[in-house]
Structure 1
């Protein structure tokens, strides 16, 4: 039982102390460990910041979960000796993979912290209703993002909406269906959109109403609710709060820029592993562009696509990713949602609502051209069918967002994982469209069931 309690405490983000009395008693500045420490708005705000910090974990947006979306797909690959990374790169993940277990646990830490802040906000007597709802909305945005991130790789997962701060509060929840997870995510985002204000200018580091609507566009598109996806993306685009940067390369050197809708703010004291992970001059496990994709991207660069030179470079006999280049401090920010995605979501959602062989709406072509022209490519001037437009959108998404955690989701939405990744029903490999539920979690939660095939 001690082993199980230890695993549960790690999964919940609870402190596991060694018993030593001489450790430094340093007051945290970005979070609190237990709900009892939240006694006023100041400590509530610090706990909220600690929830954002959970998104920055190296198992989540700080490296592994983010990069794995390209590594498990056809954009990137692992070079190194870690079996956990090798399994992802070769698309042969085992249920015993400790990195997948750590990623699962880290995402649920973010959910648990969000739930802890929500409960505290509900119970604090000295908060006015608007302030209370704003904190709850922020946390429901994070909870929605985390549940959706779990959904896109594991399928149906337990939907957790109450906090666990002690072992007796541990919940052995069963998996919800995918539809139920989607419903929970959308409900959280709708609440967030209604109760959050606009982002602070040039500081998209906390949830805003626009961020909630933008994430709702992404979620709706993946679910196949194209009308809702188009409406949400259109609302963000026409809000006037964001703009496409003229120079693609500025996206990753100008932190908190006008195109960024929601961005994780890493610093020297709160670093990630992204810069070092694709620099062949540094030690550790590496993630580079796959050769086939590098060659295809280079051909686009030869045709004028500036994103190639600003995204990758052949260095040290490796195809390095350049979006995160800070190897000295590993403090590159991570844009989670930016305006370019909204244009391509609006275009894709509208094209999907039309007949494949029919001519695409002019707005679809215009939205694609926003991305093409910023990339240095000539605009599309002739007519495209909806099917051809969808092909172009997928291509532009691949070039635009490599290394930003969207590729595997895109291939699943386009039903291309058989063709591109070999996840074919006739070969008995379609089960790999979902990752295995970590064996460690099944051991401690008897109500969890494994995905078929693992």
Structure 2
């Protein structure tokens, strides 16, 4: 296949991408010659809209990350989610105890890698115009704000890539990070940077975003805001094990009056279309009746009894962690109806979060800050962490909740309560990996210990290795 010369973007921000997967050959979505693609603030705004459109899942699945692939894999590769015995063959190898999903020929991992680097390539192109676009008084916002969002988008993509395709910060193989393109230079191959170099760049991008993103309008919860950057900082500090700063930034989000924690009464409707305007949400991927993923590719395709394939579910072990009065029991998670007809034993738990294709996909919401703070406090002040855990669950989800465990059991409970709250929102596999917690899936018997290479890192896609001879596979594959 010839190298791509140009990708196209309709001026509403809808990307028309090619089938090429290698990140080093991706060009930005433009309609004008490369040397004059972004000429004013209006076109800059369109280009930034294009970055957010790359978060969506398209109709052929060639673009797939935060809209479906990441939340799906985070659960299916963890201990609380699984693919049913009868399935469409999508994600079916995640249930194999021989860990055959973790292969460099995985189409899912190849799509994830390519999509995230496509986002980075387009962010690099946008940022190449920083300082060159004058403020247009007739255009809402400012160029500074637009570039701040591009920095935040790039930081988020690098955070996801390094957390999945490398080992933990200060873990094994610290020199085996990911490629770190920071300029728009098509067809230039790069070797892996170190894990620390990648995290240093994430910090630099978030710092740039924090100083710029508050300038001008931010378009509600469909674009990244200062609160989103604070949340991403909190994630960054958890990943780099600076728990004091992780706590500080989580508290900044909790103190932000522009957002409100999801109440017990708000649980029922939060994942409906009417819940899109709930004050809990900080950032979500926009879908609407005119801009939908295909029935085969969106998050609703494989999850819940309302989906096309009705194959991905939660485990009974997961469901048993919820008390009888937990407001999430029977609303977000159900053990009745369709799942009782399936041949799986134990019977699956229906995950009823996303049941409408035009429901925006939640990426950042305020309650995540509760759990980021709890994790940070576990490492710095576990007594306070225990007290805050009990207070939050009793106040917001289950009035009868009481937990008194200590040590590693407390950490596991914090992360379990996080998964009960944020199942299918993109956390479980990474949470376990970041904290060095091996696991065994009670439904599939898939087991990952901390010594296994599959726990440390995803393999690089073979297509990328074939194209970029400067890259080497993660040791152990």
Change (3 A) 1:368 1:450: farther
The question of 1:116 aligning with 2:99 is answered no
For residues 117-146 of structure 1, what are the alpha-carbon distances to aligned partners after superposition, in whole Å with 9 as ceiling and x for unaligned?
Answer: 111343335569x93322111001010111
Among 215, 218, 243, which residue is 1:226 paired with?
243
Aligned to 1:177: 194
Change (3 A) 1:43 1:277: same
Aligned residues: 417
Among 338, 356, 366, which residue is 2:388 paired with?
366
Among 162, 169, 178, which residue is 1:157 paired with?
178
Aligned to 2:112: 103
Q: Say which SS state the counterpart of residue 157 (structure 1) adopts.
A: coil
Q: Say which SS state the counterpart of residue 288 (structure 1) adopts.
A: strand
Aligned to 1:325: 355
C-alpha distance in structure 1 between counterparts of 2:134 and 2:369, whole Å: 39
The question of 1:448 aligning with 2:471 is answered yes
Of Structure 1 and Structure 2, which has the larger fraction of its residues in helix? 1
Structure 1 position 31, deviation (Å): 5.0
Among 365, 371, 379, which residue is 1:344 paired with?
371
Q: Say which SS state the counterpart of residue 142 (structure 2) adopts.
A: helix
Structure 1: which 5+ residue stretches go unaligned?
Answer: 16-25
Structure 1 position 398, deviation (Å): 1.6
Aligned to 2:269: 250
C-alpha distance in structure 1 between counterparts of 2:65 and 2:284, whole Å: 14
Of 241-250 and 204-213, deviating more is 241-250
Q: Say which SS state the counterpart of residue 205 (structure 2) adopts.
A: helix
Q: Say which SS state the counterpart of residue 350 (structure 2) adopts.
A: strand
Among 1, 11, 20, which residue is 1:28 paired with?
11
Check the 8 A contact 2:260/2:279 in 1, yes or no.
yes
Check the 8 A contact 1:115/1:161 in 2, yes or no.
yes
Check the 8 A contact 2:134/2:143 in 1, yes or no.
no
Aligned to 2:173: none
Alignment of 1:76-225 (within 5 A): 76-79=81-84, 85-90=91-96, 91-92=99-100, 93-125=102-134, 131-155=142-166, 156-164=177-185, 169-197=186-214, 203-225=220-242
Aligned to 1:22: none
For residues 162-198 of structure 1, what are the alpha-carbon distances to aligned partners after superposition, in whole Å with 9 as ceiling and x for unaligned?
Answer: 124xxxx312011112211111111111211122228
Among 327, 335, 338, which residue is 1:316 paired with?
338
Aligned to 2:313: 288
| TM-score, normalization by structure 1 | 0.83
Aligned to 1:21: none
C-alpha distance in structure 2 between counterparts of 1:46 and 1:237, whole Å: 32
C-alpha distance in structure 2 between counterparts of 1:350 and 1:425, whole Å: 23
